Amino acid sequence: MHPHRIAFVIFDGFQSLDLAGPHEVFQQAGGYDCVIVAPASGPVHSGSGLPVHAGHAVTALRPEGIDTLIVTGGTGVHTARHDPALIGWIAAAARGAGRVASVCSGAFLLAEAGLLDGRRVTTHWARAERLAREYPAVTVEPDPIFIRDGHIWSSAGVTAGMDLALALVEEDRGQQVALDVARHLVLFLRRPGNQSQFSVGLWSMQPSSDPIRRAVTAIHADPGARHDISGLAAHAGLSPRHLQRRFTTELGIPPAAYVERVRVEAAQRALENGGDPVESIARRYGFGTAETLRRSFHRCLGVAPSDYRDRFRSTTGGPR
């Protein structure tokens, strides 16, 4: 049996972990022949300055015979997507590949090659809005860790490429092999939650008027306060109905949902930096009960408060 051939595409300014993480997963699994292709063979410098040797140039490597094509992302992706030879090779290799995948902002290269039109994809949460704006035929979902749409796979930023690689190994070799690799590399086989837990503070627009700014300031000053629509309207100097409409227009989210997200952020910080029981944190930040806090965490972050604490607890926090 011939090994499954995987071609990684890199370019100047690529994100080194987009390559190294998935590459390590496949090497640990065994049965894969991984090659690295770039606009030119030889040393290719990542965005952090780490040089990686590309064994093949796109002008020299035939695009046929590739089983899985994986395109990395990185700060250099926007220069790379204007390289006709690179984009043409990606398009040609994708036509014969059984699977095509992007890691992080590598989705821009697949989109430029015309491979994502009409498909659901994800990318790094900080790049999702731009991808959706510049490629309107692509359905961009900023929350998932990775997405599969037919033979096209895409992952969120940086380390999420390893989640994607584990899923590909599981499809090829079965769950036990993927689980063994995950254990060896000390990874989740299926990471709980989604990208929201890593993008706190970027979930709403900013207020554009003083009345709404006053309401927002009151919420952040004391997340655990009552903050019903009447109280927020009083802070803003508006009627409750007027406050509801203007708040939603300016911030893109209703007042009640905004209050919930601010409370979740406050609870996240408490879970990261202290040892207080979940019940105490729930009461302090306006959730009332631990169950209400749990439901809000699942709704906003896709993970339970206890799991969040286990994964993000500061090493300088209270007793574990």
Q: Which residues are catalytic?
A: 104
Extended beta strands in 72-173, E state: 99-102, 120-121, 139-140, 146-149, 152-155
- CA distances to 13, 107, 194, 195, 223 from 18, in Å: 11, 12, 18, 16, 38
**Contact residues for 68 (Cβ-Cβ < 8 A; gap 6+):** 4, 5, 6, 7, 97, 98, 99, 100, 101, 168
**Contact residues for 150 (Cβ-Cβ < 8 A; gap 6+):** 119
**Centroid of chain to Cα 60:** 33
* DSSP H/E element including 293: helix 290-301
Closest of 308, 305, 283, 310 to residue 295, by C-alpha: 305
